[in-house]
Amino acid sequence: MQRIAVIPGDGIGREVTAAAHTVLDAVAARHRLDLAYDEFDWSCERYTTEGAMMPPDGVDRLRPYDAILLGAVGWPGVPDHVSLWGLLIPIRRAFRQYVNLRPIRTFAGVASPLRDAASVDFVVVRENVEGEYSEIGGRLNRGFPDEFAVQESVFTRTGVTRIVDYALELARARRGYLTSATKSNGIVHTLVFWDEVVAERAAQTPDVRWDAEHIDALAAKLVLQPQRFDVIVASNLFGDILSDLAAAVAGSIGIAPSANLDPTRTHPSMFEPVHGSAPDIAGQGVANPVGAVWSAAMMLDHLGHPAAAADVQAAIEACLADPGTRTRDLGGTADTAGVVRALVAHLGG
């Protein structure tokens, strides 16, 4: 048996994790998978009543699980840095989920804002535990004219090496092409170091072609020529921005999945859609569940069930191709429940 911790979180996070759970039950029946679930109500709602997003021993309670499936956290009234640093970031860091993996691809039936976005298929590999999102820094002279804030970026040889190695390995298994996002012309300590480590590691992997692009030019190329990319490796901040941009290029934030991985498998990895809690549509039953369902497929893959993951992917493709089983954000007419019914039917449930 494999045990999965489910954290629905806030807003549409709850609707899309329920949807993913139903689809997982259907594919588990078909492939005879033994998956067990426990649900945790950690959320902004909990913060409002109990003063914390999760209990003090929250991370320890998740430790025994094989994987974590998360919806979204964040709600008006609770500052976003509180919800993020009170739940998601502690989990990513305590479980050394140093890879944030975000696949981007176009689908028949999902219109991209680009004129020519056929056959876009790449993966952003974002460094997930160090870099620009560090806790090192501070503020001084608050309220005075000379008030200032400093926040240090932290790039370690261990941290850069392992993310680059992961990206090289992934590129080798795909089309053999790696792009490193940098800005070493302007940021002359950390990103020059990043470039050096990328070059060293790439030299050990001669069957992967690679190049480095400055982040500004890379952002433009993602819009102008998204087809040319295979695997993009980026620091925490650059990867965060690039993957949202890339998800928009592919057509919708509602379908974009992500995985926070501990590739050493010492700790549980966490799977979550890229989108947030969408307060503007929460409670209406119209959220697109595909981002959460695709994230669940990535979880199946990680748990050693690639055939089940591929079946879920195929069901997603079939649903997206039909306006009757696409949600409104994609110009379709279905609600969340309608998409789930269609996915389950494709899985033979």
Tokens 């609707």 belong to 15
218 touches ligand NAI by CB under 6 A: no
Binds ligand NAI (CB under 6 A): choice among 127, 213, 262, 329? 329
Binds ligand NAI (CB under 6 A): choice among 277, 320, 342, 346? 277
338 touches ligand NAI by CB under 6 A: no
Structure tokens at 288: 């697109």
Q: Which of 25, 121, 165, 244 is catalytic?
A: 244
Binds ligand NAI (CB under 6 A): choice among 276, 309, 325, 334? 276
Residue placing its CB nearer to Mg ion in the complex, 205 or 260: 260
Binds ligand NAI (CB under 6 A): choice among 80, 135, 200, 322? 80
Binds ligand NAI (CB under 6 A): choice among 53, 62, 287, 316? 287
Interface mask toward ligand NAI for 87-126; x: CB under 6 A: -x--------------------------------------
Parallel/antiparallel/unpaired status of strands 121-127 and 67-72: unpaired
Q: Which of 10, 66, 230, 240 is catalytic?
A: 240
Binds ligand NAI (CB under 6 A): choice among 5, 67, 72, 164? 72
User: Annotated catalytic, 34?
Assistant: no
In the complex, minimum distance from the CB of residue 275 to ligand NAI, in angstroms, rounded to a whole number: 3
Binds Mg ion (CB under 5 A): choice among 15, 127, 240, 301? 240
343 touches ligand NAI by CB under 6 A: no
Dist. CA 254–CA 257, nearest whole Å: 9
Task: Supply the Cα-derived Rg of the chain in whole angstroms.
Answer: 20
Evaluate whether 40 touches 6 at the Cβ level (below 8 Å): yes
Evaluate whether 276 touches 87 at the Cβ level (below 8 Å): no
Candidate ranges 158-166, 238-246, 305-313, 319-327; the one touching Mg ion (CB under 5 A): 238-246
Taking the CA of residue 258 as centre, how many other CA atoms within 13 Å lie in the half-sphere pointing to its CB?
A: 29
Candidate ranges 97-105, 137-145, 283-291, 310-318; the one touching ligand NAI (CB under 6 A): 283-291
> H/E element holding 257?
strand 257-261
Parallel/antiparallel/unpaired status of strands 209-214 and 177-182: parallel
> What is the SS3 assignment for 154?
strand
Select from 129, 83, 124, 69 the least CA-distant residue to 272: 69
Angle CA(265)–CA(205)–CA(209) in degrees, nearest 5? 115
Select from 104, 100, 91, 105 the least CA-distant residue to 126: 100
Evaluate whether 222 touches 245 at the Cβ level (below 8 Å): yes
Q: Which of 183, 230, 301, 311 is catalytic?
A: 183
Candidate ranges 66-74, 237-245, 299-307, 328-336; the one touching Mg ion (CB under 5 A): 237-245
Angle CA(152)–CA(239)–CA(274) in degrees, nearest 5? 120
275 touches ligand NAI by CB under 6 A: yes
User: Annotated catalytic, 244?
Assistant: yes
Structure tokens at 247: 């998800």
Within positions 222 to 261, which residues make up the interface with ligand NAI, using CB under 6 A? 253-254
In eight-state DSSP terms, residue 275 is S
User: Annotated catalytic, 66?
Assistant: no
Structure tokens at 119: 């056959």
Residue numbers annotated as active site: 133, 183, 216, 240, 244
Applying CB under 6 A, the residues found at the interface with ligand NAI are 12, 16, 72-75, 80, 88, 253-254, 272, 275-281, 287-288, 291, 329
Applying CB under 5 A, the residues found at the interface with Mg ion are 240
